[in-house]
């Protein structure tokens, strides 16, 4: 990818489209029982991660919670590797060992995919601590939902981040619901961004349905942190169109509310902006959309035809450098030990 | 085996008698000096020199960048350590006591050891968690936890429990160099105990997963670790007067567990008593016992006995606490029972 400051908006729009189409296909494949476990879709929130990625360098660190497909795709993880991960295949971005909630891609500086709410915010502190320790100007983007802000680990991490002046952008993707509990029912504050004030961290509110607003605010923050390491907090107001996970019909909200946000769709919005400015034609948009659909369909084929890890390989992933003692070989029902390949 | 003061080490240097605390301090200093990626973080480790003075002098020598005081936020700074390890640093995280590590249980059990599997082998976590563990003296139920069986239960963690200054130094140094999360569970009651240790200019590394026969004997194997090692040594001397020759096997590491040394000893004595500092239910002794009966059943001349804490939260009252803890009388009785004496 090219230097982010100049990243083409049309390219970013196609990235949002890719995420949208990927999630739609993932939903279909989940219903077809090709995907196991839990599956949380990012549809509606695309402008948040794409706007953020458009504002940082490729070597900046990104870490997020369990609604992570969009973050990996935005970071440059291939749709093939993402879909294969959902299918539990060895070609997945975590070799099929992490699943939907645990996408990792070290090469693209995507540090997970973390499924215990709030538990990755201290990890972000550690990553940023390492940047500061090594005197690098790398920035850590830590994404989390509105549900994370009432978790102890979040508060402990924010205090540490502020205390040690760590270069972290804390990005709260406020989609109004922690599972089925609305922010109003979960949080004593009038607005989430006020959490930051409690730790003396500068905070902003951003419209997460507007790609340009996300990118511009993040760019401003990132430029400031690059000059002098410090934390920042952004509450990005967004909306997920689907339920919390695949099993959630989202009966806790109204059709009218959903419809209101759909009309404010981040993809439609950026498309309209670009069209108005003469930077995008309808034909071009349709071509991008077609390409996104094809890419995603190809990823399903790739995932389907990919192999799974052999069962006995599981022992190689408990410890770096393999099993630490021989007992597992003798446990009842354990497979015969095969030569290491 | 430790012998008389001033004997020559295997490399020709002169061994010295130092305390368990000094041994840990030397290990920390040596590893900090060896590898710039190593840092020490925890409550009161810097300006206060450690709640138990293990980090005495380290701030002065290595500076505040590498010896870092934290607020009272175990979950936060343990997670910070995990995050820093994800991007290549080698943190040493001190818990003021492992009783407080329970506040960070999610980071130690859910993040540190799971990352390697969840990321399909992309992220190993080279982190050391260390601090005092096990019941001390009249600290009451919240401050008296022996956590070894809790942590040994989590795949992906390694757990060691040094009982002597030499083992403390050698195991801690090895832990810091290990590429996996390792817990060094120090014995709170043994910080001031003394023992012979190789001179500082000799590299002392004791592999994880290597038990040591601390005393040779022929009638019964007493399998112990951490605070029960000095107890076993004292009881062995008493038993000698009654013509029972006890062999003392110090596990040193709980995980990996050195079965070979255990099996060799029990195959020689044909009788085993396991004396452990933790609780009986699902305790370390249960696992050791299972493995002995499964693998060398025919070698046993008597059922294996276990001596542990009573299965109750620790009482404050001194007399009651003594009753709950493993002690010489209980161990004597168990040995006599397996010896039919």
CA distance A137 to B320: 57
Question: Are B234 and B186 part of one and the same domain?
Answer: no
Which range of residues forms the domain containing residue B107? Answer: 16-197
State pLDDT tens for residues A204-214.
Answer: 999 999 999 99
Domain containing residue B109: CATH number = 3.40.50.970
pLDDT in the model for residue A341: 37
Region A324-341: what's the mean pLDDT? 57
Whether B206 is covered by a domain: the verdict is no
CA distance B116 to chain A (A): 6
Output A247 or B183, whichever has higher pLDDT: B183
Region A40-68: what's the mean pLDDT? 97
Query: Nearest Cα to B185, choosing from B205, B204, B157, B212?
Result: B157
Question: Are B99 and B154 part of one and the same domain?
Answer: yes
Query: Nearest Cα to B136, choosing from B94, B171, B166, B99?
Result: B99
* C-beta neighbour count of A157 within 10 angstroms: 34
CA distance A53 to chain B (A): 19
C-alpha A24, offset from chain centre = 16
**B220-224 and B246-250 beta bridge pairing:** parallel
pLDDT value at A335 more than 70: no
Last residue of a domain, one of B142, B166, B197: B197
pLDDT in the model for residue B1: 41
pLDDT in the model for residue A321: 87
pLDDT in the model for residue B255: 97
A 126-165 residues inside an 8 A Cβ radius of B: 126-131, 133, 152-153, 156-157, 159-160, 163
φ, ψ (nearest 5 deg) of residue A315: -70, -20
- Are the Cβ atoms of B79 and A130 closer than 8 angstroms? no
* C-beta neighbour count of B301 within 10 angstroms: 13
Dihedral sign for Cα atoms in the order B158, A85, A128, A67:
negative
pLDDT in the model for residue A327: 63
Below-50 pLDDT ranges, chain B:
1-5
pLDDT in the model for residue A5: 46
Question: Are B151 and B256 part of one and the same domain?
Answer: no
- Are the Cβ atoms of A113 and B75 closer than 8 angstroms? no
Question: Are B219 and B271 part of one and the same domain?
Answer: yes
Region A35-61: what's the mean pLDDT? 96
Residues of B in contact with A330 (CB under 8 A): 294-295
Tokens of B79: 């997670």
Whether B207 is covered by a domain: the verdict is no
pLDDT value at A276 more than 60: yes
Q: What angle do CA B102, A62, A289 make, to 5 degrees?
A: 135
CA distance B164 to B122: 36
Looking at B96-153, list the stretches that DSSP marks H as alpha helix, in order from N- to C-terminal side: 98-101, 105, 115-118, 148-152
Instruction: Please tell me whether the peptide bond between A69 and the residue prior to it is cis, using omega within 30 degrees of 0.
Output: no
A 75-114 residues inside an 8 A Cβ radius of B: 92-98, 102, 104-106, 111-114
In A152-309, the DSSP E strands lie at 168-174, 177-178, 181-182, 203-207, 232-237
Domain containing residue B299: CATH number = 3.40.50.920
* Residue % of chain A over a pLDDT of 90: 85
| Residue A106: closest C-alpha in chain B | B122
Output A71 or A246, whichever has higher pLDDT: A71
- Are the Cβ atoms of A160 and B294 closer than 8 angstroms? no
pLDDT in the model for residue A333: 58
Using the Cβ of B100 and the Cβ atoms of chain A, whether some distance falls under 8 Å is answered with no
pLDDT in the model for residue A290: 97
Question: Are B180 and B216 part of one and the same domain?
Answer: no
Work out the pLDDT band at A340, boundaries 50, 70, 90.
very low
Residues of A in contact with B91 (CB under 8 A): 126
Region A42-55: what's the mean pLDDT? 97
Residues of B in contact with A105 (CB under 8 A): 122
- Are the Cβ atoms of A111 and B81 closer than 8 angstroms? no
| Residue A129: closest C-alpha in chain B | B84
Cα distances (Å, whole numbers) of residue B288 to A258, B223, B296: 58, 9, 12
CA distance A180 to A194: 22
Question: Are B245 and B108 part of one and the same domain?
Answer: no
Question: Are B110 and B161 part of one and the same domain?
Answer: yes
- Residue A39 is classified by DSSP as -
Q: Residues 6 or more apart from B323 whose CB is under 8 A from it?
A: B310
Residues of B in contact with A331 (CB under 8 A): none
Using the Cβ of A276 and the Cβ atoms of chain B, whether some distance falls under 8 Å is answered with no
Region A252-271: what's the mean pLDDT? 92
| Residue B89: closest C-alpha in chain A | A130
- Specify the number of domains making up chain B: 2
Is A4-309 in CATH node 3.40.50.261? no
Last residue of a domain, one of B144, B162, B197: B197
State pLDDT tens for residues A293-320.
Answer: 999 999 999 999 999 999 989 999 999 9
* Angle separating helix axes A152-163 and A121-133, nearest 10 degrees: 20
CA distance B25 to B58: 8
Question: Are B156 and B297 part of one and the same domain?
Answer: no
Question: Are B286 and B189 part of one and the same domain?
Answer: no
- Residue A146 is classified by DSSP as G
* Residue % of chain A over a pLDDT of 70: 93
Dihedral sign for Cα atoms in the order A305, A306, A307, A309:
negative
CA distance A99 to A112: 11
* C-beta neighbour count of A32 within 10 angstroms: 9
- Are the Cβ atoms of B82 and A126 closer than 8 angstroms? yes
In three-state secondary structure terms, A235 is: strand
pLDDT in the model for residue B14: 85
Work out the pLDDT band at A331, boundaries 50, 70, 90.
low
pLDDT in the model for residue B126: 98
Work out the pLDDT band at A330, boundaries 50, 70, 90.
low
Question: Are B23 and B170 part of one and the same domain?
Answer: yes
pLDDT in the model for residue B341: 83
Question: Are B173 and B232 part of one and the same domain?
Answer: no
- Are the Cβ atoms of B107 and A122 closer than 8 angstroms? yes
Looking at B178-258, list the stretches that DSSP marks H as alpha helix, in order from N- to C-terminal side: 228-241
CA distance A143 to A118: 10
**B158-160 and B253-255 beta bridge pairing:** antiparallel
pLDDT in the model for residue B206: 98
pLDDT in the model for residue B152: 97
The residues spanned by each domain of chain A are 4-309, 310-341
- Are the Cβ atoms of A97 and B119 closer than 8 angstroms? yes
Question: Are B242 and B143 part of one and the same domain?
Answer: no
Residues of B labelled as active-site residues: 74, 143
Dihedral sign for Cα atoms in the order A296, A297, A299, A300:
positive
Residues in chain B: 341
Region A215-224: what's the mean pLDDT? 97
- Are the Cβ atoms of B295 and A330 closer than 8 angstroms? yes
Region A19-48: what's the mean pLDDT? 96
φ, ψ (nearest 5 deg) of residue B288: -60, -45
């Amino acid at each position: 990818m090219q230097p982010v400051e100049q990243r083409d908006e049309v390219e970013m729009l196609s990235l949002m489209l890719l995420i949208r189409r990927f999630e739609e296909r993932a939903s279909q494949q989940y219903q077809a029982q090709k995907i196991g476990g839990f599956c949380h879709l990012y549809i509606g929130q695309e402008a948040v991660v794409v706007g953020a990625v458009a504002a940082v360098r490729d070597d900046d660190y990104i870490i997020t919670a369990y609604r992570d497909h969009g973050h990996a795709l935005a970071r440059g993880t291939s749709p093939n590797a993402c879909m294969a991960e959902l299918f539990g295949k060895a070609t997945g971005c975590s070799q099929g060992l992490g699943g939907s909630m645990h996408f990792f891609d070290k090469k693209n500086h995507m540090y997970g995919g973390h499924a215990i709410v709030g538990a990755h915010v201290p990890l972000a502190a550690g990553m940023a601590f390492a940047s500061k320790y090594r005197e690098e100007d790398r920035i850590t983007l830590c994404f989390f939902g509105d549900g994370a802000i009432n978790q102890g680990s979040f508060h402990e991490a924010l205090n540490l981040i502020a205390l040690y002046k760590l270069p972290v952008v804390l990005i709260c993707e406020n989609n109004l619901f922690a599972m089925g509990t609305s922010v109003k029912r979960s949080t004593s504050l009038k607005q989430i961004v006020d959490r930051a004030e409690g730790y003396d961290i500068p905070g902003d509110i951003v419209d997460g349905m507007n790609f340009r607003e996300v990118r511009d605010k993040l760019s401003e923050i990132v430029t400031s942190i690059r000059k002098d390491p410090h934390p920042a907090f952004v509450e990005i107001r967004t909306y997920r169109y689907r339920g919390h996970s695949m099993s959630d019909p989202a009966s806790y909200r109204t059709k009218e509310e959903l419809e209101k946000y759909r009309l404010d769709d981040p993809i439609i919005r950026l498309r309209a902006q670009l069209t108005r400015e003469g930077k995008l034609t309808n034909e071009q948009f349709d071509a991008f959309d077609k390409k996104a659909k094809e890419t995603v369909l190809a990823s399903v084929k790739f995932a389907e035809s990919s192999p799974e890890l052999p069962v006995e390989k599981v022992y190689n992933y408990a410890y770096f450098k393999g099993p630490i003692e021989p007992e597992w070989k003798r446990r009842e029902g354990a497979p015969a030990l095969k030569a290491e390949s | 085996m430790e012998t008389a003061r001033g004997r020559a080490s295997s490399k020709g240097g002169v061994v010295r008698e130092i305390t368990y605390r000094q041994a840990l301090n030397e290990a920390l200093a040596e590893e900090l000096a060896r590898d710039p990626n190593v840092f020490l973080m925890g409550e009161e480790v810097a300006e206060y020199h450690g709640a138990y003075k293990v980090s005495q002098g380290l701030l002065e020598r290595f500076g505040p960048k590498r010896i870092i005081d934290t607020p009272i936020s175990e979950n936060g700074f343990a997670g910070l350590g995990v995050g820093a390890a994800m991007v290549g640093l080698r943190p040493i995280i001190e818990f003021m006591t492992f009783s407080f590590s329970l506040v960070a249980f999610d980071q130690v059990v859910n993040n540190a050891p799971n990352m390697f599997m969840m990321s399909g082998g992309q992220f190993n976590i080279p982190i050391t968690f260390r601090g005092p563990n096990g019941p001390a003296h009249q600290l009451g139920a919240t401050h008296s936890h022996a956590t070894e069986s809790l942590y040994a239960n989590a795949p992906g963690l390694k757990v060691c429990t040094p009982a002597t200054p030499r083992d403390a130094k050698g195991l801690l140094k090895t832990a810091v160099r290990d590429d996996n999360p390792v817990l060094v569970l120090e014995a709170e009651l043994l910080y001031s105990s003394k023992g012979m240790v190789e001179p500082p200019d000799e590299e002392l590394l004791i592999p994880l997963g290597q038990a040591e026969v601390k005393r040779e004997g022929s009638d019964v194997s007493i399998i112990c670790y951490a605070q029960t090692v000095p107890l076993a040594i004292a009881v062995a001397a008493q038993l000698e007067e009654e013509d029972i020759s006890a062999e003392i096997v110090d596990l040193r590491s709980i995980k990996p567990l050195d079965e070979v040394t255990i099996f060799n000893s029990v195959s020689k004595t044909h009788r085993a008593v396991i004396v452990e500092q933790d609780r009986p239910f699902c305790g370390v002794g249960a696992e050791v016992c299972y493995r002995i009966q499964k693998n060398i059943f025919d070698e046993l001349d008597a059922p294996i006995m276990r001596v542990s804490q009573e299965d109750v939260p620790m009482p404050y009252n001194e007399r009651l606490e003594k009753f709950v803890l493993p002690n010489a009388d209980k161990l004597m009785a168990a040995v006599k029972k397996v010896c039919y004496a």
